[in-house]
Structure 1
Amino acid sequence: MQLPSTADDLARSAIDVGVVTDAQLQPVWSELGSSNVPMSELAQVLLRKGLLTNYQLERIQKGLRDGYVYGDYTVLYCVGSGTFARVFRAVHRETGQIFAVKVLRSRHNGTPKADFFRREGELGKRLKHPNIVAIHDVVSRPGLHYMVMDFIEGQNLRDLYRIRKKFEWENAANILCDVLGGLHYAFQQGVTHRDLKMSNVLVASDGSGKLVDFGLAALDGVVGDDSGVDRTVEYGSLEKLTGVRKDDTRSDVFFAGYMLHQMISGVASLPEGRNRAQKYARGEVFKDIRPLLELAPDVPMSLAMTVSKALELDPERRFQTPGDMLAELKLAMRRAKGSETSAAARSVEELEGMGPDGKPRKLLIVESDVKRQDVLRELFKRNGYRVLVATDGARALTRFVNDPSAADIVLFCGATIGADAVRAFNQFGEERATANIPTVLLLEEAQNQWVQAAKTAEHRGVVVMPVKLRRLREAVLSAATAVENVAKA
């Protein structure tokens, strides 16, 4: 197609590429009074009337013949462009309904990536869920490959994050609930995402989150390593480090947790950019993610614990499915909303860890898991305690043998220490050096049968999860004040 130089050239080119019809142009010529007008004047009228978009006009003026129409869909403009494909906003020529058309770049035609693209579309057509962007049509023929999807008014989460820098915890959690809902539905259909990241989450104008690009799932059992489609560096590195298969849904869970961590903290803890492959090669990058409470001290504890579990490097200790994480996240949000207090109440809580002498009470937490240590440390530090940590009961007891004033209160955690926590709790009550030390035993719900084995007293209590964090703090404070009241008497 020759470059248009006159208004008449522009009109004929627009008709030739299929973006306007002769009938649509007649009223335009009538308005202008003649076809013998400057090309720029015709262009302005066509743009004003919505008969052309700037995208279409620029292409016509460059003499480009293709890329205007795909089947029944007329392209309005480009909304996203990558090395693999472009995504366009398009209108159905008969219904006027708006769709997104994803088009494979021409340089990939005739390569294994074209087959991969087709299979991605076919897989996507199977997934019908409110939090997954629907694919309606897939066209794959020599020289042309595209798919038609719902057009979501909004923007992708990566762009939104770059604007906001960080999210309020409730907003972030709501978006992730939508993401997890879509992931769990796909998991139930036997599909994992395998490329979960902010750019593959669209946030609609109503604030809901929707998943796109299940492309790497299409590789499973279909095309091999010679497909020319690389697994993401992030997933490959995590899979190698944790020893799981490439289609393990717990990898999706990890990156869902990381996404929530980043939204709330405002910190990108994992490497980004073109050179990230070298940094991921070590695998150590996953161990360097700082606890959420360290980066965002005001986040509700229940939410921080949910994120911490999602980011467990041991897959067995992570949420086992997106549905498991979704259920826990919703529960954490309910707990967080229920425990929100006024600013005045918060100021009282901050004095909670202060003893009668006006100094912070020393709380020794006995917990072997580093992430759980961090979560509990931040909880009690926020409320005025001076927090110490021991990894097992024997070491905790040794501290008191060497220094009777090693701590004012001891909290034993059974989640990772198991039955040893109960034995250590009881031993503290039996030993002369520690018998009068306020002590609390925190057990998981599955450890409820150990409650009867615990030797309790007024200053020695047991708390069983799930429990509001306020209740845990109350148990610790109650044990401490029981001893302090005896001392006053």
Structure 2
Amino acid sequence: MQVPATAEDLAQSAIDVGVVTDSQLQPVWSELGSSNVALADFSQTLVRKGLVTNYQLDRLQRGLRDGYVYGDYRVLYCVGSGTFARVFRAAHRETGQIHAVKVLRSRHTGTPKADFFRREGELGKKLKHPNIVAIHDVVTRPGLSYIVMDFIEGQNLRDLYRVRKKFDWENAADIVADALAGLHYAFQQGVTHRDLKMSNVLVTAGGAGMLVDFGLAALDGVAGEDSGVDRTVEYAALEKMTGVRKDDTRSDVYFAGYILHQMLSGVSCLPEGRNRAQRYARGEAFKDIRPILELAPETPMPLAMVLSKALEMDPERRFQTPGDMLAELKLAVRRAKGAESNTTARGPEEQEGVGPDGKPRRILVVESDTKRQDVLRELFKRNGYRVLVATDGPRALSRFTGDPTAADVVVFCGASIGADAVRAFNQFGEERATAGIPTILLLEEAQGEWAASAKTADHRGVIVMPVKLRRLREAVLSAVTARESVSKA
């Protein structure tokens, strides 16, 4: 396919590769008044109308013919890329439902890795659990292999860790507990993960942990060490040092413990980088992991005890299944919360987020910037709220589509979302499902003029920065109590 030189060339290329249809382009030509328009103007209109994404446009402009459609799925953009495969966000061509499509790189076609890729997908299709990313379809044909799975709104734990560096103990325990729940279900189905690491734990926008890539379990039946698929260095070293089989679930337990240790301490104690194999050769790396109370002395003792047992080098002294560790972790969390409540009386500020029923109010923060998410999460959590996060207005609204009680109050942040925050704020006030939800629009100083276009009410307010965080808390509480007063009346 040649590089398009005109708007008509680009239109024909988009039709040829299946990105758009001729009927979809007719309104575009009508709006522009002619097909004899500048290529740049036509390109911008296609993107603005949502007919093509920037990813698709870039490929079309370079004259590339493939990578737009896989079966029934139209690729929107690439969300992850590695030496083994690429992962795309894609929409079903008929239903529009969003999925993730994992595509094996073409250079691996016809190699043992292609067989491994297929086995990974087939094994994943059998695992149906809320904390395991569901696989729906596995397609293998000459020259092409791909897996269709759920698309998770969020990011992997490794990327989140790189931003936060350290997690509060409740958040860390919640995410690891979710991962353990998925691991235990898989164990009950006779499957171990064997590649558990931060990059294989996805954290949803709501903070739940989900497992992905039960890849190395698919190696069973592949031609051993000559399969062409490298086993994770950490697992191989631990298995060799502890003398367990490669499918021993207690190795998954160990690495679940290590992930929790790293989240609480903010320190990566195991070797990283290209020379890991040499450093793991004697297994000394595992012996050098420092106790969590040395690195993070604020860690509650019950959690420290769980970590100590999970990271035991003797497999017989470790938790014997992920379910065992999950049960002890949940008990440790309850004990830690009980100890805090017994030693620290809750002050007036800490009661702000507690509703009349004595339960934490759920506040949904709509903010795409991770660092700002962390600031607001800590602010409201410290004052008793249960904090949820959405990255844009449509995702926030979708939460209430099937559940009008998804959150008790919503804060839209204009700093990163821009004018879309105002539109979403107003839409919340217009939709039947969300009109009664207390809502705050937080704008930057330069966005102050937008406040005039915001549709406010007693339970719907606007705050323009700069203001003290106390003022934001007061505005949220005022909106909530205004709505609760109306409900009581």
CA contact (8 A) 1:87 1:102 kept: yes
Counting only pairs closer than 5 Å after superposition, residues 234-383 of structure 1 correspond to structure 2 as 234-341=234-341
Q: Which residue of 1 aligns with 2:67?
A: 67
State yes or no: 1:139 paired with 2:139.
yes
Report the CA distance shift for 1:3/1:248 in structure 2 as closer, same or farther (over 3 A): same
Cα distance in 2 for partners of 1:111, 1:139 equals 16
TM (normalized to structure 1)? 0.70
Alpha-carbon deviations, 1:19-69, whole Å to 9, x = none? 000000000001011111111110000000000101001111111100100
> What residue is the counterpart of 1:456 in the other structure?
none
In 2, Cα distance between equivalents of 1:278 and 1:89: 37
Counterparts of residues 37-436 of structure 1 (less than 5 Å): 37-341=37-341
Deviation at 1:282, TM superposition (A): 2.0
What is the deviation of 1:221?
Answer: 2.8
CA contact (8 A) 1:180 1:325 kept: yes
- The separation in 1 between residues aligned to 2:54 and 2:343, in whole angstroms, is 52
1:343 CA drift (Å): 7.3
- Matched to 2:85, the amino acid is A
Alpha-carbon offset, residue 222 of structure 1: 3.5
Letter in 2 for 1:39: L
What whole-Å deviation, never above 9, does each CA across 1:332-391 have from its counterpart, x for those lacking one?
00110111157778xxxxxxxxxxxxxxxxxxxxxxxxxxxxxxxxxxxxxxxxxxxxxx
Paired with 1:96 and 1:220, the residues of 2 have a C-alpha distance of: 36
Instruction: Label 1:5 to 1:163 Cα distance change in 2 as closer, same or farther (>3 A).
Output: same
Separation of aligned partners in 1, 2:342 and 2:265 = 22
Quote the residue 1:360 is aligned against: none
Per the alignment, residue 6 of structure 2 pairs with: 6
How far 1:326 sits from its partner (Å)? 0.3
Work out the CA distance in 1 between the residues paired with 2:341 and 2:293: 18
Q: Is the 8 A contact 1:136 1:148 kept in 2?
A: yes
What is the Cα deviation at residue 164 of structure 1? Answer: 0.6
Higher mean alpha-carbon deviation, 224-233 vs 86-95, is at 224-233
How far off its partner does 1:191 sit? Answer: 0.4
Q: Partner amino acid for 1:204?
A: T
Helix, strand or coil at the partner of 1:163: helix
Partner AA of 1:114 in structure 2? A
Give the drift of 1:281.
Answer: 1.3
Distance 2:101 2:76 in 1: 10
Distance 1:344 1:114, change over 3 A: closer
Deviation at 1:202, TM superposition (A): 0.4
Percent of pairs with identical residues: 82
> Which whole-Å CA distance do the structure 2 matches of 1:294 and 1:335 have between them?
21
The amino acid of 1:24's aligned partner reads Q
Measured in 1, the distance between the counterparts of 2:67 and 2:344 equals 62
Which amino acid counterpart does residue 222 of structure 1 have in structure 2?
V
| Per-residue deviation, residues 250-272 of structure 1 (Å, max 9, x unmatched) | 00000000000000110000011
Task: Supply the RMSD in Å over aligned alpha carbons.
Answer: 1.3
Q: Is the 8 A contact 1:116 1:223 kept in 2?
A: no
Q: Is the radius of gyration larger for structure 1 or structure 2?
A: 1
Matching residue's letter, 1:295 = L
- Which secondary structure state, in structure 2, belongs to the residue aligned with residue 207 of structure 1? coil
Q: Which 5+ residue runs of structure 1 have no aligned equivalent?
A: 346-489
Match of 1:19 in 2: 19
> The residue matched to 1:122 in structure 2 has which SS?
helix
Counterparts of 1:342 and 1:164 in 2: how far apart (Å)?
29
How far apart are 1:223 and its partner, in Å?
A: 3.5
- CA deviations on 1:208-254 (whole Å, 9 max, x unpaired) are 00000001100013332221101100000101111111111000000
Equivalent-residue separation in structure 1 for 2:47 and 2:217 (angstroms): 41
Letter in structure 2 aligned against 1:310: A
Q: Distance in 2 between matches of 1:194 and 1:344?
A: 41
Structure 2 stretches lacking a partner, 5+ long: 346-489
Deviation of 1:278 (Å): 1.5
Deviation per residue, 1:287-336 (Å, 9 max, x gap): 00000011110110000000110000000000000000000000100110
CA distance in structure 2 between the partners assigned to 1:278 and 1:197 by the alignment = 20
* Secondary structure in structure 2 of the residue aligned to 1:340: helix
Report the equivalent of 1:446: none
Q: Distance in 1 between matches of 2:156 and 2:64?
A: 29
Cα distance in 2 between the residues matched to 1:214 and 1:263: 22
Aligned to 1:196, the other structure's residue is in SS state coil
- Whole-angstrom distance in 1 between the partners of 2:282 and 2:63: 49
Q: Contact 1:4–1:61 (CA<8 Å) still a contact in 2?
A: yes
Q: Given residue 208 of structure 1, which amino acid in structure 2 is its aligned partner?
A: A
Residue pair 1:120, 1:217 contacting (<8 A) in 2 also: yes
- Write the distance in 2 (CA, Å) between the matches of 1:142 and 1:320: 43
- The one-letter code of the counterpart of 2:315 is P
In structure 1, the residue matched to 2:443 is none
Asked whether the equivalents of residues 29 and 35 of structure 1 are also in contact (C-alpha less than 8 Å), the reply is yes
TM-superposed deviation, 1:276 = 1.4
Cα distance between partner residues in 1 of 2:227 and 2:60: 35
Asked whether the equivalents of residues 250 and 319 of structure 1 are also in contact (C-alpha less than 8 Å), the reply is yes
Which amino acid in the other structure matches residue 122 of structure 2?
E
Q: Name the SS of the counterpart of 2:115 in structure 1.
A: helix
> 1:74 touches 1:90 (CA, 8 Å); kept in 2?
yes
User: Following the alignment from structure 1 to structure 2, what is the Cα–Cα distance between the partners of residues 10 and 200?
Assistant: 38
Q: Secondary structure at the match of 2:196?
A: coil
State the distance in 2 between where 1:194 and 1:124 align: 13
Give 1:154's aligned amino acid: G
Question: CA–CA distance in 2 between the matches of 1:142 and 1:324?
Answer: 44
**Are 1:99 and 1:149, in contact at CA under 8 Å, matched by a contact in 2?**
yes
Shift of 1:177: 0.5
